[in-house]
Chain A
Amino acid sequence: MSDMKMPNAAKTLSPEDVKLVKKFLSDTTLFLGPDPEIMQNHDLMPRTDVEDKCIKKVNETHMIAKIRDRIQAGCDEGYEMVEQMGAAPGAKWGDVITGVYSASGDLAIASAGGVLIFSTLVHHPIKFIIKNWMNDPTVGVREGDGFIHNDSRYGNVHNTDQSMILPIFHKGELVCWVASTVHEGENGAIEPGGMPSMAESPCDEGLKMSPFRVVENYQIKRDILTFLQNSVREPKLQYEDMKVKLYACLRIKQRVEETLNTDGPEALISTLRLTMENVRAEVVRRVSEWPDMTVRTYIIQDSTLRENCVVKINCKLTKTGDRLIFDFRGSSPEFTNRATNTIVAGLKGMLAQVFLCYVWPDLPRGQAAFAPIEVITDPHSIVNCSYDAPNSQSLMSIFTGFTAGQHAVAKFLYSCPEKYTKVHAPTFNMINTFIWGGVSQHGETLGNLCADLNGMGAGARSDMDGEHALAPIFATMADIGEQELNEEDVPFLQLVSKKMTMDAVAPGKYRGGQGYTMMVSTKDSEQWGFMTVCQGAKIPPIQGLFGGYACGAYPLCKVKDVNVYDVLLNEPEKFKHSIAEIMNEQPFEGASYTTHHMGMGFEISKKGELFMISQGAGAGYGDLLERNPDAVIKDIEEHLISQGVAEQLYKVKFDPVTLSVNYDATKAARNDERKARLARGVPFAEFIKTWNQPKPPAYLQYFGCWGDDVDTLYAGGPDITRKANEPRPNYMRNPKDVRIDELEARLAALGAHGDEKK
């Protein structure tokens, strides 16, 4: 609504008139879109009168703990059911959460395992149901109902994730909700697998399920199910996992009802509420132990997945007393036609994982752990996008947002004596894996992904190296799957899998955990393809800590015009097991060898072509000259690093045959390097005279603030700006059109157009 001045002042409405206007607007709402009142709020709902009465009646600590453990066990049981029975690859590898929610919709107790980002994101659709359907005579909420949901604009990370939500009644009164959420993958989007990078609007992103009833009397409604199946590439998966989620919810319901029968509804309601309030209070207390300080950092996305450009995620983290405020103002404007935007709830969900997974893993899982922490963003920015912006690749922004948070938090934790984990450098944050789709060797139409995305290298810690390919940043208890099992269902092989990529390291006093090589090749289908959806082929997507370095860059390599299965059959000695050997030696005659950034749109592959990538390394910690020389030799022995790179970086002197360290020579080489640093280093004041520039470089497409001025956002170049609080469209051209223009210009320069008509 505009603030335009009217010639005649509007009449001041009486309270009765205001009530009437509100009722009119409520009764005649044309579309119940995502509700900002719900979607912008991540705190707990206020304590209700019912909850207050229950807490007054039941508040004995041991009783509360006993019931909480019982409900927790029920959630874990439901989680196990989904993981064991689920058809989606994500379900099998732990991309799941189950939980019990308060009657107001807050997630009070979540399963211990699985994707904890869901723990702060699945409450939104329940609150939408409560607000809009509970009292709607055409919908209502009844015993036996089940609601489905996947549209991230109404809550959740992205549209691959589907939830089943059940209300739980006791003697006719709603006492709580149970829900199960799974990364299902396929959802009928423009590309298979559910996370299209080619989506230029929300309409390209497949199923858009606002919360609606799909279960009555605990039975899935077949007509709606058929519509959903007809809207996706994997109809059988859609059905199977809806059933799995429903039955997991029913099992949790059973455990809740057992508690209701033995301890009564007051005890259950009190337990749910006190669990959340106690966690929230404990988080406030823990924050107050941190030093009062402002920490600044930024993480760079080097692509939109369609083209390389520089996209800034700007983060200022301030702790004052018991308040902790993440300020992401100055981050890139949203892209109107690129899928890497996120709704702000998704960003908050990932920031919650900094704490639940890496800082306070001892806290009960649920929404309360992030509830008191504040987040500020610009409107219509890449970390708080509008309803009209695509967000199917929101992972790109929530993961880089996560890393900004993780990097900043580490600088608070170091000097805080009260610790629940070790201080550590950022974990690798990109889903370096293959999304796949097509028709399988069994004639099934499929679209999903390899769980290798869960194998991110961990950051180094303050007293030890990072773990290799450990876990995804959004779930510390998840698996990277058995490729051999996967290959029973899909028509491609991972010819090289889980082999560490040599020299793709993040050095430091303690090095980051390393990532592994993946080489995939289609074998048994003529209708099969891959895509990759990662950033970081030109700029590392993380920062190092306290002198430790970040990881390097990770490209996609392709070998085409070859059938490696023929090579393996007839000339097996020609096949090599590292990207370096294949790309440098080019062992297959007549083949083409190319490199690309990691945003490969869905591409059909021919039998025997190679697609090769590497998982990334977590960041290093501390000055690499302090690394124990024996640890460097161990890295060489484990093929993590080559002798040449070890010597060049760590200044370690050793015998190349026996690998025995010459400690005196190493000490001398390191002393020489420290002297060299003093010689080449420039005093800060002098350095910034030549380094600092008033604007981003003209040769880069740059998005976001520059320096400390967060009020001005650059949108593609040094002379394209807008005010941070005045959103404007931010369209990107089709990369193919850009390339055609480049080639046309070259033709014109050569005079090759002749007298071609325009």
Chain B
Amino acid sequence: MTEYLRIDLEKEQWECRVCNHVVGPATKSYKEGMLVHNRDPREIHPPIIDPDKYRFTFSPDPEWVRILEYYCPSCGTMVENEYAIPGHPPLYDMEVDLPALKAQWSTREEVPEPVVGPEVVRGTGHGNH
């Protein structure tokens, strides 16, 4: 489903693709099975200009926005993050329709590795340069 999460359709569970940890029921948000850290955005986007001299520094304002980091509780992989207004409830970001998903995949071959998608191929025709 994502870079770090899959759903076992038979068991109806979210699972970590890095360590196979069972995150929780796929009928709920995977976030409910995660550890959360309220990150000061200045730690990720450090000021480029002196915060003692200037109001705006290239860092987000920590009173206006925080980064909610969601970690797999087993392997510590950062599965997702969310730039959030302080106090805003975390989003139920992926609410799957399990019966529909099961029906859809019942007609498909198993795809063991994620499909990356096509490369952009550089043109081979005559150019101006």
Contact = CB atoms under 8 A, between A and B. Distances in A.
A40 interface: no
Contact of A696 (B33, B85, B92): B85
Contacts of A291: 1, 96-97, 100-101, 104
Interface in A520-549: 537-540, 543-544, 546-549
Nearest to A693: B87
A418 B111 CA distance: 11
A414 B35 contact: no
Contacts of B4: 546-547, 622-623
Interface centre among A416, A649, A691 (most CB of B within 10 A): A691
Contacts of B56: 537-538, 553, 555-556, 595-597
Given A320-B97, A547-B4, A553-B58, A422 B64 contact: no
Contact of A677 (B57, B65, B71): B71
A550 B94 contact: no
Contacts of B73: 678, 681, 683
- Chain B at the A interface: mostly helix, strand, loop or mixed? loop
A300 B85 contact: yes
A346 interface: no
Interface residue tally of chain A, by bracket? 35 or more
A310 B56 CA distance: 16
A296 B91 contact: yes
Nearest to A580: B48
B27 interface: no
A579 B48 contact: yes
A539 B101 contact: no
A678 B81 CA distance: 15
Contact of B94 (A295, A501, A549, A696): A295
B91 A298 contact: yes
A648 interface: yes
A132 interface: no
Interface string A320-341: 1100000000000000000000
B89 A622 contact: no
Contact of A411 (B36, B94, B101): B94
A593 B115 CA distance: 50
Contacts of B71: 677-678, 681
B61 A538 contact: yes
A374 interface: no
A294 B101 CA distance: 12
A675 B76 CA distance: 7
The winner among A297, A550, A557 for most chain B CB atoms within 10 A is A550
A680 B101 contact: no
A538 B34 contact: no
B79 A685 contact: no
Interface in B58-82: 58-61, 63-65, 67-71, 73, 75-82
B38 A685 contact: no
Contacts of B60: 538-540, 552-553
Interface stretch (A71-79, A215-223, A702-710): A702-710
A415 B89 CA distance: 26
Interface in A618-658: 621-625, 645, 648-649
A419 B117 contact: yes
B3 A462 contact: yes
